Structure formats: structure tokens, C-alpha cells
Structure 1
């Protein structure tokens, strides 16, 4: 494929790079124009970041098809988490709420498990009825998420403020140890936990182009890296515009966190829904639960390391409302993902929890 054809195919990334250049040139002018213009610019950048993220996810999917599960969905979720970490790191380097990291992780969990998994199971259940998957994956993801959330976002409530750096260092070590062993099991002796063997007749129904893309892995990897860099540039300007646009506006503090979580999850939503509608619930479970786990277990150590480096701790302990919502979500997930099949009722329970999260956020809770 020639350079011109490649640029045409990656027009979203090219456009994102152009937008980043324009934002660089007009940053101060936009901020001086007031909050309204800043919010419009921030919204435009959010849309651009989503488009760039979709291209990153596309190439992650190409790699996923080449290597298969569980490696495939792992690549997709890691690319999404990388985007989230970059955006958070950039936003936390400026004027931002000390609860931004906590609220973003919480929002991501609500969006991934209740939003993505809920909607996918609901739509997939309405179309296919009961959709099978490997129940070992749901159980493993669930207990890992519960442990990681408990260590990093519940226990900190009881840690004295003058000893935060000790617990922060412990949290980093704990997350690395948890994910290191999990990753070894996921790609090693327990890799079968995260895959499901569908009947041959169903496999033939897959679209012919799903496995027919001959794009090289090297090009996909390079495009992912370039896309992540472009997203990082856009995020820096988005953070500046959003901070200015929301200043003294009375908007809920968590709005920024929800935006960051939604940006990183946008490509996953499309992929998970497509998988559910093709009756591939295993991929949906891996994406939704895997993204939740990766968000907690990878974002926390990076952000805690930044806190230790700067000497400024973040507020990681969840509020009572957040703790209750996480507890209800994980209990519902433990029950719904316990039998190896999802259905529309189970999807609806999670989607209603997601609607509850949206309402609570709108109320500033």
C-alpha cells in the first residue's frame, strides 16, 4: 500500500494531527475569548480524540485477530488504558481536581461493566437469547477488580494523611504484583479461562473480512504508537480548554472524569457491541471486565508514582456513594457472570445501574 493510500486510510489520525497543530497555534486566543468558546473548543477536541482513538482501536483489533484471545482483547484494553493514563497524567500536571484520578477510575468502572457489558448483554440477549462464554473469565476478572479496588480506593480512607506515601508505595507494589501474576496466568497456563470454543457452524458466519486483513503487525503497532502520541497532544489542549470552560460554571466536579473515561472507552464500546451482536459474548466479557481491571490495576500505580514524585497526594478514597455503587455493581456482576451465559435481563440490570450512575453524577454525587 502506497503512502497516499495509507494517509487516506488514516485520515482520522491525519486530521487529528492537523487539529493539534491548530490548537497549539490558537490556544491562548481561544482561552482569552471566554468560557463559551473554550468549551466549544474542548468539545471539538474530545470528538477528535474519539476519532483518533477509534483508529487506535482498529489497529489493536487487527493485532487481536492475528494473535487471538486472550491476547487480542488484552491488546485492545491496554491501548485504551494507555490513552486514559496519558490524558490523566497531562491533566493532573495542570490545574485539576485532586479527585480526578479517583473519579475517572470510578467512572470507567461504571462505564465498562454497567454501560458496555450491560448494553451489550441487553442487545445481544434480545437478538440471540442466552449467549455463552467461559464463566471462569468473569469470576477471575471480578475477584481481581474487587481486590484492586479495595486496596487502592477503599482502604486509603483509613490511612493517616501523614503516612500516605508509605501506603502509596505499597499500593504500587501490590498492583504490579497482582497484574504481573494475572498476566502470566492469562497468557500462560490459565489462558483457556479467557477463551470460548464456539461451534464450527457459528464460526463460519463471521464476516469474511474479519480475518482477511493482511495489514502487517509492524504497521499496526507503529500506527497505535503514533495515535497515542497524537491523542496525548490533543489531551493537553483539551485539558486547558475544559479547565477554562468549566471554571466557576457550577458543573459537577466529576464531569471531567466522566469525559476522560468516555474517551478511553469509546472504541471499546463499538467493539464490544459488535461482538455481542455477532453472538461472541466472550469477547465482550473480556473487553468490558478486562478494561475495568486494566484501568484500576495499571492507572493506579502510574498515578501513585506521579504523586510520590511530586510529593502531592491524590484523593483516592471513594465517597460513600461511589463505594456503594461499586459494591452493588461487583455483586451484580458476580451473580450475572457466574453461569457461563448472559441474557437480556442480566444486561438490563447492569444498564439500569449505569443509568443510576449517570443520574448521581448529574446530581453532583
Structure 2
């Protein structure tokens, strides 16, 4: 009986964990938790993230590329937005920079971490990583524009003291972000869909899905529902363990910006796993769709949402980056352009991006 139960749990864990996360969320919401409960919630939280990866990949395989990458990117951004707004409500003035820190961390992790790791894995496994420079270049250009509008320009505006936008400027940035993101999604899924599909070694577009058993409509709908439960569990449980994390960071004497880094690392774990899997299958274009698409969604959807939420949130909304982070952003964009233009990459390009991520993490801990 015990072996059968064990086998059942192993086979159905991706369905059990999201339900368990929601049940735990109901019983722990709004309560002060002891250390043992925080440890349990953290384990279930990690399991919910992995379950979300599985169900998002099932849905993505059913709808095909590039819609699958778009679904996962938007799902992850929903987690990010919910976490930021929730923590800003509870954090007061000390959370004024949380949106900026989390969004910038997401940009650095996606454009250097996910992209670099995917290029490294793809090129080591297949000698050279092949991708479409037209689609990847369009995505990188959009990310660069959004990052500059939302994270760089507030440092230099003069309508309001400090690295903040005035109300009119914030409205413009939010609308511009939504317009650019909408244009990119239309380009990716309708007008120039072929630019974002993986390529063969000879540079031909792979329009047919991989030879993997296609999920049924019922399986895809079930995974979509479980994906929603997993996302709710991730957001809620992260809210429950966040006070402990913030206390630990303060006790260790680390900058408060590390909270944003940890949030970004957590919510981007599903995308990172999915991107590496795609790179191992020689589908590096899918990996870049995930990485750059997540960076774009993180800015293009998070900033407008936070801008609306700032109407009733206490405290200021600081968006402008400091000099060190602006240098890292400029270097990331410059290196990204040189990586994308050839349409192929060696382990060197992957290593360069990963070193940039390591530099960002080091300076986040020791500014």
C-alpha cells in the first residue's frame, strides 16, 4: 500500500502541490508564523514554482510557439506585480524603491542570466547556439527602450525632486509601456511570427512542433487551471514568508534592494528552467523569447500597474536608477546587441552575460 501511495504522489505531485499551497495559504494568511512553519511554506513555495513550470509548458506545447513563451512570460509577470503591490502596501516608505529594484533585477536576470545560461548550454551541447537575429533584435530594442523610459529618465527629470516622475510623466511612461508591449506582442504573434520561431542548423524556420505527444484539450485546460492555482500559491506564500526574509536581510546588514533581487530570482525560476530545457533541445530562439519576453513584460506590465496602484499606496514611487546600475544597464544593452546581431553564439557570449549578472549581484550585496 505504501509503495503504491508513494508512486501515486510522485506521478501526481504537479497537481497536488498547487492545491496544497492554496490550502496552506488559507490557514496561514495574515498570521504570524514560527520558524518551522516558514520553512514548510518555503518548501511548498519552491514546489509550486516547479509545478507552475510544468503546467505552463503543457499549455505552451498545446498552443505552440511563440504563444507558449508569451503565456509563461505573462504568468510570471502576474506573480511579480502581485508581490510588488502586496509588499508595497505593507512596507510604507521603505518600499518606495521596491518596484524599481525588482524590475531592474528582473531585467538583469533575464537579459544576462537567462540569456547567458541559455547561450552557454546551447553552444556547449551543440557547438554553436543558433537563433533568429530579427526577432531577438526587435525584442532587445523594445527592452532597451522600456528600461530607459521607466528606469533611467526619472533620474534626470526636474519636475519633481528626487529620482521620481511627476504624475503626468508617470502616466506617459505607463501608457508608452503598454503601447510598446502591445506592439511587440502583435509583431510576435501575428504579423511577423516567423521571426520568433526556432531555426535549424541551416537557418530555416522550424514551423512544425517538435515530435512530442501533443496534450489533449482536456489536459491543457487542466494544466491551465492548476497553473492558476500554482501562481496564487506562489504569490500568497511568498507574502507569508517575506517578513522573515526582510528581517533576515536587515539582521545581516544587507541593502534593502536585496529584497527586490530575491523576489526577481524567485519569480523567474520557472522561466530559467524552461529556457535551459529549450536550449538543451537546440531551441535557443525559444530560450531568448522567454528571457527577453520576460524582461519586456516585467517593465511593460509592472510599471503601469504600479503607477495605478501608487494612487492609493502610501509613500513615494522611486523609479530612477543610480549611476552604478545605469552603467550596468548600458553595458548589458551594448553586449546584448553584439550578441544578437550575428544570429549565432559560442560559449564566450554566454559567459560574458553571466559575468555581467554576477557583477550585478555582487554590487547589489556590496554597493
TM-score category of the 2 structures, normalised to the smaller one: 0.7 to 0.9
Give the deviation of 1:22 after TM superposition.
Answer: 5.1
Output the CA distance in 1 between the equivalents of 2:126 and 2:317.
44
Output the CA distance in 1 between the equivalents of 2:125 and 2:135.
23
Output the CA distance in 2 between the equivalents of 1:361 and 1:141.
26
Match of 2:144 in 1: 146
Task: Name stretches of at least 5 consecutive residues in structure 1 with no aligned partner.
Answer: 31-36
Give the deviation of 1:152 after TM superposition.
Answer: 0.6
Match of 2:3 in 1: none
**Between Structure 1 and Structure 2, how many residues are aligned?**
349
CA 1:311 to 1:244, structure 2 compared with 1: closer, same or farther past 3 Å?
closer
Give matches, 1:51-130, under 5 Å. Answer: 51-95=47-91, 96-130=94-128
Return the TM-score normalized by structure 2. 0.87
1:175-224 CA-partner distances (Å, limit 9, x unpaired): 11111222222211111111134379x98xx986x434335332222122
Match of 1:161 in 2: 160
Return the TM-score normalized by structure 1. 0.87
Structure 1 runs of 4+ aligned residues shifted over 4 Å read 4-9, 40-44
Task: Name stretches of at least 5 consecutive residues in structure 2 with no aligned partner.
Answer: 1-7
CA 1:295 to 1:9, structure 2 compared with 1: closer, same or farther past 3 Å?
closer
Give the deviation of 1:50 after TM superposition.
Answer: 2.9
CA 1:330 to 1:245, structure 2 compared with 1: closer, same or farther past 3 Å?
same
Match of 1:318 in 2: 321
CA 1:355 to 1:156, structure 2 compared with 1: closer, same or farther past 3 Å?
same
Match of 2:219 in 1: 216
Are 1:16 and 2:21 counterparts?
Answer: yes
CA 1:149 to 1:44, structure 2 compared with 1: closer, same or farther past 3 Å?
farther
- Considering only aligned residues, what root-mean-square deviation do their CA atoms show, in Å? 2.6
1:286-315 CA-partner distances (Å, limit 9, x unpaired): 111111111111111111111133364311
1:322-362 CA-partner distances (Å, limit 9, x unpaired): 11111101110111011111211110110111111121112
1:59-115 CA-partner distances (Å, limit 9, x unpaired): 111111112111111111111111111111111111152111111111111111211
- Say which is worse superposed, 95-104 or 320-329, in terms of deviation: 95-104
- Say which is worse superposed, 233-242 or 345-354, in terms of deviation: 233-242
Determine which of 338, 341, 360 is the counterpart of 1:338.
341
Give matches, 1:247-326, under 5 Å. Answer: 247-310=250-313, 312-326=315-329
1:96-153 CA-partner distances (Å, limit 9, x unpaired): 5211111111111111121111122112212211121111121101110111011111
